[in-house]
Chains A and B, each alone.
Chain A
């Protein structure tokens, strides 16, 4: 991206003052290197978001931002319902509440060395992954409605996990604003057999080792130390979430004019928060969040069963569960005034700092764990939210490495079997998915996750706690 339209506000922060129809500035969090790699479209898309009604402070892009659809991936925008603010189905995206869950195992690397291949094979058999896979559950419409109302609690009440798990999920695993009656039968139909499935693309279940601890205090609070084995699950709301987006986007496009909204592009489809359509979407989208956390909860159960069969010593406890495609109603202090805002995070993670009431009691004095997914061959990170992020980015930070190369280019550059072989040389076992699917997700197709995390820390959006490297990766 060219720097000439940007003014540098700090080592890792750039601002472009509003021009034309923009209501607020664009703020990009990046160093020179990441900024250079960022597509021009990131700026264009962030500037489009700045034009939407009721946006507060700025349209922001996190350090991993890349060209998305509508919002940039890595985009954050907060809207005030009392100032004509909007909720955007395009701003949340199709994979509502796609997110990452991390679990401690109570094991260290030496505990699993002898049974790594056996564990990889069992996980690949037990975790439904990839296109066309079905979950172990088939839900009736009535059960689906219960799941959409109750979220992860629905799963726990049916024996998938423990009530203790719920405290370590954002909003305790249940969005109270969910209204299953706002979700179409088409969307529910897509979910009938998809509860407890991983999906495909960049979704995965990974067994990882903690290779470095940066912040011993926070790591101790989160219950992890070097050489520990943890498991991360990256997936979302499956067919139901995708269909909610599909259902609401055209409705929002068609109503925009009547609501006085001039859409910069159709994919930014949105509705006033105080309109019937806006409220209906909020009810549906919150149901989508509940679906995603219920999905990760059922997968957690399958994961625990697999570990119990091979490594009975393991105790899988939930470290935390974050969603990175959401719009949530939150309170933020803006220029000394407490305001209730609808914060869109599209490919951005909530990163609330110490003392925030939403953070579980055990973690409250250090802040919220922030789970950053990497690639099959590099690393993932656990960060912690900061007080600074509350004032700079509505308590938000990056969500992953972010793609640097298109799928088409990745397919041309790599063969899946070579990728798998190279990773095996690094002692990383890959299971599931097709060779071609693996090539599209080759580690080289992503940005340098280390650089993204360093910049996130330097920008004050979150602090590094630990680095995790893959041992086993089950790809969707």
Chain B
């Protein structure tokens, strides 16, 4: 199986998000979709404008959480939601583009805001079947 996909996993108070893909980049992109889906159904978001994101960390796990938290920052300060992501990772440096639009309550049925991505249940793993799996708990 080479398709990339995302899923949620349960946590009693918060939410677990997971991205799976054929590369670490694809898994990071899918996890961003999973995080979006905590707040709003990604299928109702239009990719009208894009935002560039850069972050750096000393290892892949910290980089994963930094990527999600950079998105949280953009969502919060721009009042935007995102539905499409392209991620490039070189060593410990990530550059990405996220496409989305401003929050429109008539169009976007909002669920709950993500306060931050946490290090709880954090994993960045290259599985034996060749797929990358990345996950953590997000605080809502």
Q: Which of A20-28, A246-254, A307-315, A363-371 contacts B (4 or more CB under 8 A)?
A: A246-254
Q: Which of B21-29, B64-72, B90-98, B125-133 contacts A (4 or more CB under 8 A)?
A: B64-72
Residues of chain A within 8 A (CB-CB) of B66 are: 250
Asked if B120 and A69 make an inter-chain contact with CB atoms under 8 angstroms apart, the answer reads yes
A39 at the interface (CB under 8 A from B): yes
Using CB atoms and an 8 Å cutoff, list the residues of chain B in contact with chain A: 8, 10-15, 39, 57-58, 61-62, 65-66, 69, 72-73, 76-77, 79, 103, 105, 109-113, 115-116, 118-120, 122, 137, 139-140
Asked if B119 and A69 make an inter-chain contact with CB atoms under 8 angstroms apart, the answer reads yes
Asked if B110 and A437 make an inter-chain contact with CB atoms under 8 angstroms apart, the answer reads yes
List 16 extra interface pairs beyond A249-B118, A269-B119, A437-B112, CB under 8 A.
A39-B12, A69-B14, A94-B116, A131-B103, A132-B110, A189-B77, A245-B116, A246-B72, A250-B62, A265-B119, A266-B119, A267-B119, A407-B15, A407-B112, A409-B10, A433-B110
Closest beta carbon of chain B to A420's beta carbon, Å: 14
A176 at the interface (CB under 8 A from B): no
Of the candidates B8, B65, B115, B139, which one forms a contact with A408 in the assembled complex, judged by CB atoms under 8 Å apart? B8
A182 at the interface (CB under 8 A from B): no
The 0/1 profile, CB within 8 Å of B marked 1, for residues 42-74 of chain A is 000000000000000000000000111110010
Asked if B13 and A66 make an inter-chain contact with CB atoms under 8 angstroms apart, the answer reads yes
A-B contact list, 7 entries, CB within 8 Å: A90-B119, A190-B77, A201-B140, A246-B72, A267-B118, A267-B122, A437-B110
Residues of chain A within 8 A (CB-CB) of B77 are: 189-190, 192, 239
Residues of chain B within 8 A (CB-CB) of A435 are: 109
User: Between A and B, how many residue pairs show CB distances below 8 Å?
Assistant: 120
Of the candidates B13, B76, B103, B105, which one forms a contact with A190 in the assembled complex, judged by CB atoms under 8 Å apart? B76
The 0/1 profile, CB within 8 Å of B marked 1, for residues 178-200 of chain A is 00000000100110100000011
Q: How far is the CA of A253 from the CA of B59 in the complex (A)?
A: 12
Q: How far is the CA of A39 from the CA of B10 in the complex (A)?
A: 13
Q: How far is the CA of A404 from the CA of B12 in the complex (A)?
A: 6
Residues of chain B within 8 A (CB-CB) of A200 are: 110, 112-113, 140
Asked if B13 and A436 make an inter-chain contact with CB atoms under 8 angstroms apart, the answer reads no
- Residue of A at shortest CB range from B65? A250
A140 at the interface (CB under 8 A from B): no
- Residue of B at shortest CB range from A200? B113
Closest beta carbon of chain A to B63's beta carbon, Å: 10
Closest beta carbon of chain A to B138's beta carbon, Å: 9
- Residue of B at shortest CB range from A436? B111
Asked if A249 and B119 make an inter-chain contact with CB atoms under 8 angstroms apart, the answer reads yes
Residues of chain B within 8 A (CB-CB) of A94 are: 115-116, 118, 139
Q: How far is the CA of A190 from the CA of B114 in the complex (A)?
A: 13
Residues of chain A within 8 A (CB-CB) of B119 are: 69-70, 90, 249, 253, 265-267, 269
Q: How far is the CA of A330 from the CA of B94 in the complex (A)?
A: 42
Of the candidates A93, A250, A405, A406, which one forms a contact with B139 in the assembled complex, judged by CB atoms under 8 Å apart? A93
Residues of chain A within 8 A (CB-CB) of B110 are: 130-132, 200, 433-434, 437
Residues of chain B within 8 A (CB-CB) of A269 are: 119
Residues of chain B within 8 A (CB-CB) of A67 are: 11-13
Asked if A246 and B116 make an inter-chain contact with CB atoms under 8 angstroms apart, the answer reads yes
- Residue of B at shortest CB range from A245? B116
Of the candidates A70, A95, A239, A434, which one forms a contact with B76 in the assembled complex, judged by CB atoms under 8 Å apart? A239
